[in-house]
Structure 1
Amino acid sequence: MDKNNKKAFFDNFTFTTNKETFRVNVDDGPYLPFITALRTKPFLLLAGISGTGKSQKVQELAFMTCPNGELRNEGGTTPGNYCLVEVKPNWHDSTELLGYYSALSGKYELTDFIRFAYKASQNKYVPFFLCLDEMNLAPVEQYFAEFLSVLETRKKVGNEILTQYLLSKDRFSNCELQKKVLVKEDGDIIEGDKQYKMEFLYSEKDAEIITYLKEKGLTLPDNLFVIGTVNMDDTTHQFSRKVIDRAFTIEMNGGKMSEMFSPESKMLLEYREEPIPLEAFKAEFVRAYEVLDDARFAKYRDVISTRIPALLGDSDGTAEADSINGILNETPFRVSYRVQNELVLYLSTLIERANFPEPDQIEKLIGEATLAILLEKVLPRVQGEQKQLETQNGKSNVLKDLKTFVKSHFKPEEDTDANSLYNQVLRKLKEMDDKLANYYTNFF
C-alpha cells in the first residue's frame, strides 16, 4: 500500500451515527470481513495453521485505529490499544483472566485482562483489541465461561451498549490500598509497645484500578474487542458449541508467499495519519428488532422478516427442506434465534455500507450476509461421523445438501474471483465433505 493509498484507505466507507458521519474506503478491503464480524459481535476467532499472521492481524487493527497521543507513546513495539494475552495449557479457571483476592496478602491479584479492560473504559472513543493467543491450548470453557455469559447480556441503552458485571464491586469490598506492617524500627503507627508502618499494596496505576473497581465493578466496555487465535492440532482442545455459537470464526490459512516481500507488507504495522474511528467497529445494535425499529432500516422490515426466516428455516425440526435448518433437521447443528439475530445485524452493516438501497435491491446483500453467517457461524458447528451427517436415507449428507442449497440460492450471475465469499463457502463445504469420506469431519 503506497503512501497515498495508505491515507486514502477507507475514504469511501460511510458510517452514519446519531451525531456524525464517518467515511471509510473499502475498495482495498482485506479488513472488511474482520470489521463486519466485529461490528456484529465483539468476539472473533481466527483459525488456521500456525504462522499465517493471525495474531499480527489483531496488531494491524490496533495500529490502524490508534490515535495520535498517549496511546502511541506508551513505549514498546505495539500500540496502547492492543494487548496480547498468551493462554497457557494449565489454565483451568477464570482466575487467569479475572484475577482473585488473596486473604494471605490482602491484595486482589490483577491481571493484564483486567488492566486492559479498565484502560478501554477510560478511553471510550478508541477501539481496544485484546488478542487471546493460542486460545485453545487450555479448555476454553473453563477459563472463559464468565466472559461468554456476560457477552450475551449486552443491551443497547441510549448510544451505549452495556453488559452485566463481569466483576461486581462487592468482589472488591475487602480490598484496601494499604496495610499495617509490624516493624522493629521506628514506625508510623504505634499501638502499645508495638510499632507499625503503612505499606502500599499496589503500584500507583493498580491502585487507581482497584479504586475504580471498588466503586463501579467491571463490565465489558463497548469499545473492547476480543479476538482469539486458534491452531487445531493434537496439542490443543476442541471448542464446544457454547464457544462457537458466541463467536464469529474466520479462517486464515495463508496466501501467496511472495506477498511477504511486497512494499505493502512493510506498512501493515504502522500508525495512520488518519486513524479509523471507533464507529467503524462498534456495534450500533444488539437485537434485530432494534434494526427494524430504526428509521433508516424500517423500509426493509417486510423483506428482512420474510426472507431471513425462510432461508434459515424454523429451528423446531419442522423447517422446509429448502432451508439451512431443513438440511440440518436431523442433526444437533440446527441454528436458532441467536444466529438469525446476528444475521440481521450483519445485514444491517452491509445495507449501511451500500448507502441504503431500495428494498427490492437488497437481495444480493441478503445473500452475502447469509453466506458469511453460513461460513463463520454455521459450518464451525458441524462435525461428526458419516452416519451422523447422512441425509436422504444415506444417499447424501448435510455438506452435499448445503452445497446444493448455496448453488441454488446464491450462485452469482457472472463468474466471480476465486476468493469471493460464494467460492469460499463452496471450497469449505468440499473440504469438509472430502474429510468425511475418511469417516469423520469438522470445520477446523
Structure 2
Amino acid sequence: MINLSQYQQIFDIDNTAERCKKVNDSMEQLWKSKLDQLAAQLLGQDYRIATYGQTLVTTYHDALNPKYAEQKKDSSIGRKYFAQIVRKVGNKEVNLLTLEFNGIEKRLYVTIDLSFYQVHELIKSDRLNAMLDELGPKIGTFTRTGSFTRNEIERTVLGQALIEMIKPRIRPWIYIGMMLPLEGEFEVSSIIDYLKQTWEQTAAFRQYSLEYSEQSAKAAHIMDLLASVEEPFTATLFGRSYQIQYGVTGNEKSGEREQEFSLKRDGQTIVQGCLLYREYEVRTGSSRPMLAVDVEGHNHTYTNVEALLGEGLKEWRLFKSFRTTNQDNEELKQEAMELLIQHDFEVEHNGYRIGTYNNSARRFEEDVREIKGKLVCAALLFAHVAGRGKFKFFETDATNDASIVNGDHIDDYSKEIIEYNCTFNFPVIYEATQNSSLTFVKDLIRDLHLNLTALDDKHFVILSGISGTGKTQLAKLYANAVYGLPYEADNPYLSIIPVRPDWTDGTALFGYYSSFENRYIMTEFLRIILHAHEEREKPHFIVLDEMNLARVEYYLSDYLSGVESHKEVPLHNRNDLDGIPSKINIPPNVYLIGTINVDETTHSISDKVLDRAFVMTLSDVDLETFWSRMDEGIRTGLQSEFTYLKRLHGLLSPYHLHFGYRTMSEMMKKLSSHLVLDAEYQTSRTAMLDQVISEKVLPKLKGDDRIAELLKDLKDLFAEHLGQESISCSHIIRMEKELLRYGATQF
C-alpha cells in the first residue's frame, strides 16, 4: 500500500536538498523496480528504465554545496518523480510508457508521449482522430505547458488546437493516458494495473511512435553519411576549377544541424552557403526529414530524404522548381536544366539524378563525396540562374571541362515565397538564438527582449561596449529570432544603417526634397518607416550602427520627438510628390537599436537621448563559451595560444582595455592559417603569437599613471612567454618610458 498524500507532502517540502533526498529515497528503488518487472513482462528485452533519480541525487549534492546552494534554493527540482520504459532507436530513445507523480499539479500521470511533429504528421495524414476514437473513456490527452505542468485538451479538438500552434511556433509534447489526483492510498498493484491499461489502449500510438522513430533513424543515417564528408571537393563550373570547402557539422539544435561551406577559387572565397540537415522544421511544423542547401541565405535545394528509403536500390532523382515573383519561372527552370546538362548531370523530365542509395547496405552506390559535391554544385547553379543575393558565376565558353559534380533541389524555398511569421514569445525567441554559433547568455537576450518590448509604443535600446563584443550581431540575432530565421539569413524586416560623422540633422534619417535634382532623396530609414506603415502587424527593426560617430541628439531629435509626442514628423511641403507623404508618424511596430563605442572618435550622448532609451553595456566577454564553439581543429591545435591570450585578457579586463570576440576570433584564424603553411614558410608559434598580439591587442593600449601596474604585469607576462626581445615586450618597455616622462602613453 502506498499513500499518495504522503508523496504530495514530500513534494511540498521547501528545502531543496531535503526534498530531493526524500523523493529519491521513497520512490526511486520501488518504482524503478516495478517498471522493470512490468517491462520484462510486456517486452522481454530491448528496453531501459529511465528515471528522475540521477537528477534528484545531483540536485541534492549541489544544494549542499555552498557554491551552488543559493542557485538551488528556489529550485522546483524534486517536486515530481517519474520512471519510464524506453527503447533506443537509432541514436535516440523512444519513451514507451511513463509513470509520473507530479507534486506541482498534485496529479499522477500514466502516459505515452509523442512529439508535436509526430502528432502533426498524424493530422496531415488524417489518422489522428481515428486513433483517438479507439481510446477508452478513461484515457485523456494533454499538452506540455512547462517542465512541471500540462494542459488537458479534449480529444475532439486536439487536432485543431495543434494546428493553431503552428503559426506562433508553439511545439509542445503531447501526452496520452490516464490522470489521477495525487491523494489517498493505493495498492501498488492498482498503479501497475493503470500502467497495463494505458499500455494496452495506447498500443496504436506506441507502434506508430516506434515506426516513426525507425524511419527517422534511417533518414538520419543518410544525412549522417553526407555530413561526415568534410574534405574539400573540386568541381568545374562554367569551365573554371573551384574548390568547395566544408566546415564542421554543428550539434543538433531544434532538430537541425548546420554545415557551412565555401566556394573558393585560388584561395579566394566566391560565395558561402550551408547544408541544413533537418529532422523536423520548427517554422512550419513539418516532421519530414529534409536536406536543404542554402546559398547566401536562400534555399536552392530542399528535398525529403525519406524518398530514398524502402527496399533495395533507390535512385535519388530530384526535381527543381522556381517560384519567384518577378521572373518567368518556367524560363528559369529550363535554363537550370540546360546548365545541369552542360555540367554532365543526368537530366530527364525536369528532374536530375544525384546517385543511388542501397537500403540493404545502408550506403550510396557512388562515392558519398561525389554525391555531396553534386548537391552543392547544383544549388550553386540554381543560385546563378535565379540571381538571388546578386550571385552570378563568371561564364565562359568552356562548359564541359573536367570533373563537374552537382546536385539538385525538389522544392524551391526562396525568400520571395516565404511567409515571414513573427512572435515575441520569449522561449521561442531564446531557443532560436541558441541555434546560433554566437556567444550570448540568457540574461543578455532576456534583457534586450524586455527592453524592446516592455513599452507598447516606444522601442529604443542602445547597446554600448568595447569593440568586438557583438553589439550589431546581437541586434541581428534577436531580430532574426523574432521571425524564426537563422542568424545568417536575410531578414526583410531588419535594416542595419551605418551612421556617418556628417549627420547633423533629421534629413540624414528622413531624407529631403532636392531642388537641384527635382526629386525627394529617399533614405533607408524612411523606407523602413513607410514599409512599417504598410505592414503594421510585422515588427520592423532598424539598427543604427556606431550611432555616436555623429551627435545623436542632432540627427535623431525628430524621431525621438515623434515617438514621445505621437505627432507627425514633417517631410516636405510640396503637392507634386507621389509616394512620399508630407508628414509621417512613427508606427509602434518600429524597433530601434543603436550601437555605440566609447573612444576619442565618438561623441558623448546627451541626457535627452539617454532618458528615452534603455542602455545596455556589453563589456563582459565569455571566452570559455566562445572557445567551446570554435571549430574542433582550431581548439585542438591552438589550445596553448588560447590559454595565453585568455590570461592576457584577464590582465586587461580590470582596466577596461580588454578585447572582444571579434579580435579573439581574428587572432585565432591568423594563428590557424599560419600552421597550415608549408614548414619552410612558417615562423615559430611563439613569434606568430607575438605578432598577433602586437597587431590586434596592443594598438588600443593607452592611459595615464593608472595603467603603470598593468604595463609592469604585461612586461612580465611577455618576457616570460614571448621573450624580452619580442615585439610586444619592446612596445611595453617603450610605453613605460613614455609614461614616466610624460605622465601618459599610448601604443
The TM tier, using the shorter chain, reads: 0.3 to 0.5
Kindly name which structure, 1 or 2, has the bigger radius of gyration based on alpha carbons.
Answer: 2
- Greater RCO, 1 or 2 (C-alpha within 8 Å, sep 6+): 1
Greater share of residues in strand: 2
TM-score, length-normalised on structure 1? Answer: 0.41
